Amino acid sequence: MSVHTPASRADASRGHDEAAPSFKIWINGKLYDKADAKVSVYDHGLLYGDGVFEGLRSYGGRVFRLEQHLDRLWNSAKAILLELPLTREELARAIHETLQTNGLEDAYVRITVTRGCGTLGFDPKHAADPQVIIITDHITVYPPEFYSRGLEIITAATQRNNPSALSPRIKSLNYLNNVLAKIEATQAGCMEALMLNHKGEVAECTADNIFLVRDGVLLTPPTDAGILEGITRDAVIELARASGREVREVAITRHDVYIADEVFLTGTAVEVIAVVKVDSRPIGDGKPGPVTQDLQERFRKLTRD
């Protein structure tokens, strides 16, 4: 795999292009220019990371698995006792309205819900005006060569959140452990890092779920390994099973990863991407394998045809 400079990696993951047009941003029912789209410095989302988010994608104007993303958003909000100030239908309409206003068909959609503005002090009773924000923008994907050659990743020393402290199933505004793992990846010259759970088992990567292929069978960590239940992960499990492959949700060790025939990641941003080296160990023959390629193609058809 070619070596990418830190600058190009940062550009690839920053998710927007300075020269691109500025898209309108939806906040609590109104559309704002980017420069005017603001929340208060007293917002508990900023002060305490008190809020939840979703990252979605639209293909040809259709939001992929919108209902599942809304389910996850409502479940995340419920878990932190945050009541959304609008209905699912209203949010769905607002997403489509924002995409249409911005003339975007193939796009990234970022929903952020903060606890809202209040006094200092993190007691939620001091913040009672949740802010619902919809950002739509061009989706920045990895350059095509990352898909044809596959990614090299490392295992991060930073663990995934311990589920008994804060469930990783909540897509909360507290992403610091993932941010720290991402920094470790970048410092090692990689795009992604593998995160282990509190038991030392494989959990997931910083913004992607992980799958292994061994003897034609797909293996992926179960929900109770302390992962986000990825919507792309679900779609890939369905595609694999529909094509006659066995998928097992089982505890996975780093050793299992090293000796797998194939490894790939799934996520809204990366879709399905091969991993060809983990902690300097080549996976299989060091090239994206046939099962990964097959699922990449099936996922492409699912989202684009």
Active site residues: 171
* Strand 107-114 versus strand 131-137 pairing type: antiparallel
Size of site (CB under 6 A) for ligand PXG: 16
CB 53 within 8 A of CB 178: no
Binding mask 104-123 for ligand PXG (x = CB under 6 A): ------x-------------
Which C-beta is closer to ligand PXG: that of 50 or that of 192? Answer: 192
230 in contact with ligand PXG (CB under 6 A)? yes
Minimum distance from residue 13 beta carbon to ligand PXG (Å): 9
Count CB atoms within 10 A of the CB of residue 246. 11
Instruction: Pull the structure tokens for residue 279.
Output: 């902690």
Which C-beta is closer to ligand PXG: that of 118 or that of 231? Answer: 231
The DSSP 8-state label assigned to residue 284 in this structure reads T
Minimum distance from residue 123 beta carbon to ligand PXG (Å): 27
Interface pick for ligand PXG out of 112, 178, 220, 303 (rule CB under 6 A): 178
Which C-beta is closer to ligand PXG: that of 200 or that of 286? Answer: 200
Q: Which of residues 252-291 bind ligand PXG (CB under 6 A)?
A: 266-269
CB 204 within 8 A of CB 195: yes
* Strand 202-205 versus strand 209-214 pairing type: unpaired
237 in contact with ligand PXG (CB under 6 A)? no
16 in contact with ligand PXG (CB under 6 A)? no
Minimum distance from residue 115 beta carbon to ligand PXG (Å): 19
Interface pick for ligand PXG out of 52, 207, 213, 257 (rule CB under 6 A): 207
136 in contact with ligand PXG (CB under 6 A)? no
Give the whole-angstrom CA distance, residue 45 versus residue 49. 4
Which C-beta is closer to ligand PXG: that of 230 or that of 289? Answer: 230
Residue 285 main-chain phi, psi, to 5 deg: -95, 15
303 in contact with ligand PXG (CB under 6 A)? no
Which region among 28-36, 78-86, 119-127, 228-236 touches ligand PXG (by CB under 6 A)? Answer: 228-236
Three-state DSSP state, 120 = coil
Instruction: Pull the structure tokens for residue 234.
Output: 């679900």
Interface pick for ligand PXG out of 43, 152, 208, 262 (rule CB under 6 A): 208
Helices (H) and strands (E) in the chain, counts: 9, 15
How far lies 62's CA from each of 25, 58, 211, 299, in Å? Answer: 19, 5, 27, 15
Give the whole-angstrom CA distance, residue 78 versus residue 71. 10
Give the whole-angstrom CA distance, residue 246 versus residue 227. 21
Residues lying near ligand PXG in the complex (CB under 6 A): 55, 110, 178, 204, 207-209, 228, 230-233, 266-269
